[in-house]
Amino acid sequence: MSKIVFFDIDGTLLNHDKTIPESTKKAIRQLKEQDVFVAIATGRAPFMFEDIRKELDIDSYVSFNGQYVVFENEPIYKNPLNQEALIKLHNKAKSHHHPLVFLNESDMKADILEDVMIAEAMGSLRFGHPEKDETFYLKNEVYQSLLFCKDEWQQEYEREFTAFTFIRWHEYSVDVIPKCGSKAEGIKKMLEKVGFQLKDSYAFGDGLNDIEMIRTVGTGVAMGNAVEDLKIHANFITKNVDEEGIVYGLKSVGLLR
């Protein structure tokens, strides 16, 4: 194998109905038959896309926006959130009635029993409201947190908590990851492990958390449904996810014959 391609999940592998188009499934099988290494790069936790990995027979991935990297089912890189900084974030968020969800590789817990913003944001991913355990992050390594607040609050958190990067993925929620952490950094860790050159790496994405990835890989492809801030960094803009955008993009960059 001489080439590797990373796929984001939501809006890229999954269409707007949260299903994988048949054309995408076929394209990934063809990539493997042509000895192209296939991996996932997502903001999701591993337990949140286990079904997708099984359906596509993919066992290498960059999760939590780069903080937990697995190669052929074996973790090769872990970068948890700083617990002391997370305690301070939790205290501030509580004072403003902004809920948090804490995630590790196998579970997620909320710091509140029930919240409308959590329910709506998690529902958009087809997940229910997490159970409450506000001390979860004190007992486990946490690779990503979700902060639930309106956009006008985000800059205040960014100014105060410089140990973290805040990436908005929903009207009500932002990902909280370690500063300088990104899908791009996770991809670099996997390339080092597998022995691929950066110039032989490709990535497909659609969201704000894909910007560093698209800018870093050898060839970055933005979905037609991608946010405009991502498209300006892409080497190529393919069609919408619901218009066989994966297949069109793979053929256009020469990965599929």
Domains in the chain with CATH codes: 3-78+181-252 (3.40.50.1000), 83-178 (3.30.1240.10)
Q: What is the pLDDT of residue 158?
A: 97
Closest CA to 10 of 56, 70, 52, 61: 52
pLDDT at 1: 63
CB atoms under 10 Å from CB of 90, counted, come to: 20
For 115, the 3-state DSSP assignment is coil
Q: Are 11 and 207 in contact (CB under 8 A)?
A: yes
- Quote the pTM value: 0.91
Q: What are the tokens at 238? A: 């393919």
Token output for 177: 């990851």
The SS3 call for residue 159 is helix
Active site residue ranges: 8
CA-to-CA distance for 257 and 244, rounded, in angstroms?
15
Q: Which of the 8 DSSP states describes residue 11?
A: T
Q: 84 to each of 122, 132, 142, how far by Cα in Å? A: 26, 21, 12
pLDDT tens over the chain, length 257 residues: 689 999 999 999 999 999 999 999 999 999 999 999 999 999 999 999 999 999 999 999 999 999 999 999 999 999 999 999 999 999 999 999 999 999 999 999 999 999 999 999 999 999 999 999 999 999 999 999 999 999 999 999 999 999 999 999 999 999 999 998 899 999 999 999 889 999 999 999 999 999 999 999 999 999 999 999 999 999 999 999 999 999 999 999 999 98
> What does the alpha-carbon distance between residue 194 and residue 37 come to, in Å, rounded to a whole number?
10
Please state the φ and ψ torsions of residue 212, each to the nearest 5 degrees.
-60, -40
